[in-house]
């Protein structure tokens, strides 16, 4: 590697990464490419990513391409989470946000087909927190009294029943 080694490598990777606009490549396409690398090298993209960052893997065209594609994949997943969270925060209601969060928490489905889900596990937690806050605000305004039973089932479907504020409101 040329003088400047790691700094030059980082600059090249960032420049190449920016050439891949998220909207031009689907997560499914990226996942397919990443799976090819995983089969070829025998470990997951996440494992590779950490090893590559630590300098444990040689810099070849293949490994740099894999690194770039995995970073684009992570960026795309994060972008989807930010968009969904912003939409949930912007809406006045909470039925649709609760439904989305409920669908997103399907753990078995996440393991089988990770790309069918809109958000990462971390983003899902934030989404659930946002839903809890929306329900809390609505409960404090007494706007939900007429539909308390429905709210109780919605809360339990999201495993939010551990939240003492919501539990207290539903029991009232």
Per-residue pLDDT tens digits for 64-113: 889 988 888 888 877 777 877 787 777 776 666 767 776 666 666 666 66
Q: How far apart are CA 162 and CA 89, in angstroms?
A: 22
Contact present, 140 and 53 (Cβ < 8 Å): no
- Structure tokens given for 106: 């399907």
- Is residue 37 exposed (0-12), middle (13-18) or buried (19+ Cβ within 10 Å)? buried
pTM of the model: 0.54
pLDDT at 165: 56
Q: What is the mean pLDDT of residues 125-136?
A: 78
pLDDT at 38: 93
* Percent share of the chain, pLDDT over 70: 51
Choose among 93, 85, 89: nearest CA to 138: 93
Contact present, 128 and 158 (Cβ < 8 Å): yes
Q: How far apart are CA 151 and CA 163, in angstroms?
A: 14
42 vs 141, more confident:
42
pLDDT at 40: 94
pLDDT band at 163 (very low <50, low <70, confident <90, very high): low
Instruction: Select the highest-mean-pLDDT range: 9-23, 32-46, 69-83, 129-143.
Output: 32-46
Instruction: Select the highest-mean-pLDDT range: 26-30, 39-43, 77-81, 162-166.
Output: 39-43
pLDDT at 151: 58
Choose among 31, 74, 33: nearest CA to 50: 74
Contact present, 57 and 63 (Cβ < 8 Å): yes
pLDDT at 36: 94
Q: Give the mean pLDDT of the chain.
A: 71
pLDDT at 17: 52
Q: How far apart are CA 25 and CA 35, in angstroms?
A: 15
106 vs 157, more confident:
106
């Amino acid at each position: 590697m040329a003088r400047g080694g790691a700094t030059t490598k980082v600059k090249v990777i960032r420049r190449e990464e920016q050439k891949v606009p998220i909207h031009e490549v689907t997560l499914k396409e990226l996942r397919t490419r990443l799976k090819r690398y995983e089969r070829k090298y025998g470990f997951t993209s996440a494992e590779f990513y950490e090893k590559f960052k630590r300098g444990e893997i040689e810099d070849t065209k293949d490994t740099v391409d894999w690194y770039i594609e995995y970073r684009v994949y992570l960026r795309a997943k994060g972008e989807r989470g930010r968009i969904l969270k912003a939409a949930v925060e912007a809406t006045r209601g909470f039925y649709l946000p609760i439904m989305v969060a409920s669908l997103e928490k399907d753990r078995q489905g996440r393991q089988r087909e990770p790309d069918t889900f809109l958000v990462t596990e971390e983003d899902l937690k934030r989404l659930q927190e946002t839903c809890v806050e929306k329900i809390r605000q609505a409960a404090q305004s007494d706007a939900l009294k007429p539909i308390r039973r429905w709210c109780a089932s919605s809360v339990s479907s999201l495993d939010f029943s551990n939240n003492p504020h919501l539990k207290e409101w539903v029991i009232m």
